[in-house]
Amino acid sequence: MAGTSIVSEFTKGFGRENPTFVQVLGMCPTLAVTTSVANGLGMGLATLFVLFFSVLITVIIKKIVPDGVRMAVYTVVIATFVTIADMFLRAYVPPISKALGPYVPLIVVNCIILGRIEAFATRNTAGRSLVDALGMGAGFTASLIILGAIREILGSGKLLGFQLLGSGFHPLLVMVLPAGAFLTLGLLMAIFNAVKDRDSFVVVEGR
């Protein structure tokens, strides 16, 4: 959009176009791996890596890619970077790789990536597209960290592996299970959007 500042292109990934709480994209990894902050951070950074480099390749080749093979080409580009990210994790951070498991290869089908490529990178300048990718990736990571922190503290009493709450605290096991993921996500989404749209609420006089 003309007139949007570069800074705004970056921050929209955290606020008004947050991929998790506003766009509701990438729900599968969001629910599955946010059992701890470390896992959420790992997934977020891996996704950011894939998003950034996929958008980079996209802005370079978008002029020569014919319309009919657009999807196939961009999917292959994304899949290549996902494979690289997966191999990197398995080589250098095996504990995170093990914790994230099959969800790293599944980044290929994370709607955020193809979404940003189709909706933004193919229609905007290279500079803006890259800033958009960084903002979305960082915003996604931040959302995962928040979700991960809540679920880790309430579900195990720990934060980043460190025991935070004393032995008198009985962990709420549901928080590390799918049900807890949905509950936390739903509540956070409600709060997030209430704050985001607070100026647009209209008070109707009741009778």
The CA-to-CA distance between both ends of the chain, in Å, stands at 43
Supply the minimum distance, in Å, between the C-beta of residue 108 and another protein. Answer: 13
CA pair distance 171, 163, nearest whole angstrom? 11
64 near another protein (CB under 8 A): yes
Compose the 23-52 pattern: x for residues touching another protein by CB under 8 A, - for all others. ------------x-----------------
- The number of helices, as runs of H, and strands, as runs of E, in the chain is 8, 2
Q: Which two tokens stand for residue 163?
A: 């025991």
Q: How far is CA 200 from CA 16, 193, 194, 195, 196, in A?
A: 13, 11, 10, 10, 9
CA distance 80 to 177: 31
Q: Which of residues 165-204 bind another protein (CB under 8 A)?
A: 171, 173, 176-177
Sketch the per residue contact string, 99 through 138, with another protein: x for CB under 8 A, - otherwise: --x-------------------------------------
1 lies in the binding site for another protein (CB under 8 A): no
Among the listed residues 171, 140, 167, 141, the one whose alpha carbon sits nearest the alpha carbon of residue 153: 171
Q: CB under 8 A: which stretch of 94-102, 118-126, 129-137, 184-192 binds another protein?
A: 94-102
> Other CB atoms closer than 10 Å to residue 155's CB: what's the count?
20
CB 114 within 8 A of CB 75: yes
Determine the Cα–Cα distance for residues 105 and 123; give it in Å rounded to an integer.
Answer: 27
| Nearest CB to another protein, comparing residues 6 and 173 | 173
The only residue of 66, 166, 168, 206 in contact with another protein, by rule CB under 8 A: 66
| Nearest-approach distance from CB 143 to another protein, in angstroms | 22
Q: Give the interface with another protein as residue ranges (CB under 8 A).
A: 35, 61, 64-66, 68-69, 72-73, 76-77, 79-80, 83-84, 87-88, 90-92, 94, 98, 101, 171, 173, 176-177
